[in-house]
Amino acid sequence: MHKYHFISLFLLLLSFSSCTERSGYQISPNGLEYKIIVDNKQSKSQPGQYISYHVFWRTLKDSLLFSSENVNQPLISLVARPISKGDLWEIFTYLGPGDSASCRVPARNIFKSYLPSNMKRDDLMKVDFKVLGVLSQKQIDSMQSLRASQQLNAEDQELQNYMRRNNLSGSKTPSGLYVVIEKQGSGKQPEKGNTVKVNYTGKLLDGTQFDSSLHPGREPFEFVIGTGQVIRAWDEGLTYFKPGGKGKLIIPSNLAYGEQGAPPKIGPNQPLVFDIELVSIK
């Protein structure tokens, strides 16, 4: 065979192999390689809306690396216009309720630091999406409000159970904070703008201690009431004590570290207990 014929045949086979590998995928104007798997012919999501979905990470050989569906944790993301070439989130603008799609992206776009074994940063992988619904900002706000209310109710029950288990008697403030006064102290109660010194020990509801000013080498913590230097429960709770007073603050997570927590010792939505002593007021 003539060498030029051989080269042409080789290029043809290479081209056929490449087309087979990319079968069904197309390139968006912004450079995203994608394939629509299911199109329910409904209106597609628009920037400013939110999309609820399951995501699946796979190798090009369809080995599953992660599935939000398997852990029963649907995701919600804001639909926005792409901000960089090949931006994965562009796919949402092609999808509506019940639709699904597959994208091919470099592994570095998914795994920012740790890569699975036998995978390099430039290796392509599949990221598949299954859309559950498209939501407005109003619907998102309503969902978040309901979820927050359910979380507060569940935590309040936890706090009450904690007090019963430990034979504690205290009062609940309008914010949901429980204040247990063991020793009132004497003198003036602190107000917003006062500088206070406090000894404290912080614990989870299971008794795990995460911090204490009573450890060797530590001193009472000093801060200004009502200026946001501490968690909200402290700004409020210390105003119920007088110098020399001791007690407990039993705190729902929204008055502490909320959904973010304070890793690694305090998890998301973690209620807390502080044993406190108001040492002095300036």
The question of whether 129 is a catalytic residue gets the answer no
15 CB-near residues (< 8 Å, 6+ apart): none
CA nearest neighbour of 91 among 147, 32, 37: 32
Q: Which of 257, 266, 275, 276 is catalytic?
A: 257
Sign, Cα dihedral of 63, 45, 72, 151: positive
The question of whether 257 is a catalytic residue gets the answer yes
Report cis status (omega within 30 of 0) of the bond before 271.
no
Q: Which of 34, 92, 129, 274 is catalytic?
A: 274
Other CB atoms within 10 A of residue 180 CB: 20
The question of whether 66 is a catalytic residue gets the answer no
Q: Which of 34, 50, 162, 200 is catalytic?
A: 200
Is 237:211 a contact under the CB 8 Å cutoff? no
Phi-psi region of 146 (alpha: psi -120 to 50; beta: other; left: phi over 0): alpha
The question of whether 210 is a catalytic residue gets the answer yes
Q: Which of 25, 210, 221, 223 is catalytic?
A: 210
The question of whether 37 is a catalytic residue gets the answer no
| Segments in 110-212 forming alpha helices (H) | 137-165
The question of whether 50 is a catalytic residue gets the answer no
Q: Which of 231, 250, 251, 276 is catalytic?
A: 231
Residues catalogued as catalytic:
200, 210-211, 231, 257, 274
